[in-house]
Amino acid sequence: MDIEEAIKNRRTIRRFKQDPIPSEILKKLIDYARIAPAGSNIQCVEYIIVESPAMREKMFPLVRWAASLPEELRTPERGREPTAYITVLVNTKIKQSYYEFDVGAAVENILLGAVSFGIGTCWMGSIKSEKIRALLDIPDFYEIKHVISLGYPDETSVIEPYKNSFKYWKVENEMHVPKRKLDDIILKMM
């Protein structure tokens, strides 16, 4: 798969088959994140992989799903939950500020890498950080930034033309996500 294909196929997925992701692939995704750019090369982003069924079950209620959808369509149904989570942390003993770009670059590497393995992802910022801290026994000097939910997709996501609203919607097993046209976001070519 070339880079353009990976970028265009990277879609947010919220329903997953229950086939486990091999641990080696999860570690490889973290390796992709490890080599992402970091300001001044100060590498403060660290990760916790959650893959055991017992821990996944405890993690599931600590993340919030698809806020733009009606309540009954937001959360994956039983048997369609993620089969792994990656918790994204900032080690504040290493870097205390200006790490947002480092986090974004690392997460995007994980998301694009997952596509190459046929894995769907959902990058989640609406999380119950303090409950996650307690569950995963994360020391206070770590800032919990995001959780990435992962699994083999059990739904599709379709790009739709933007028509006056950024709200996405779901029809049966298909998520519809409006995106602006390329010509609408290039202000000038000089």
Look at residue 166 and tell me if it is in a domain: no
Domains in the chain, number = 1
Is 79:17 a contact under the CB 8 Å cutoff?
A: no
Angle subtended by helix axes 100-116 and 23-34, to nearest 10: 140
Give the CATH number for residue 12.
3.40.109.10
Residue range of the domain that includes 86:
3-154
The strand order across the sheet containing 84-91 reads 45-50, 84-91, 142-151, 120-124
Asked whether residue 24 is domain-assigned, the answer is: yes
Stretch 152-165: mean pLDDT: 91
Look at residue 167 and tell me if it is in a domain. no
Identify the band that residue 135 occupies on the pLDDT scale cut at 50, 70 and 90: very high
| Domain-located, residue 176 | no
User: What is the model's pLDDT at position 67?
Assistant: 83
Return the percentage of the chain with pLDDT > 70, whole number. Answer: 100
Statement: residue 189 has pLDDT above 90: no
When pLDDT is averaged across residues 11-29 and rounded to a whole number, the result is 97
pLDDT of 103-132, one tens digit each?
A: 999 999 999 999 999 999 999 999 999 999
Round to whole Å and give the CA distance between 47 and 88.
Answer: 5
Report residue 163 CA to chain centroid gap: 26
- Residue 172 maps to a domain: no
pLDDT digits (tens, 9 = 90+) for 35-77: 999 999 999 999 999 999 999 999 999 999 988 888 888 899 9
Taking the CA atoms of residue 50, residue 30, residue 121 and residue 108 in that order, the dihedral angle to the nearest 10 degrees is 140
Identify whether 63 is part of a domain: yes
Amino acid (1-letter code) at residue 1: M
- How far is it, in rounded angstroms, from Cα 32 to Cα 140? 26
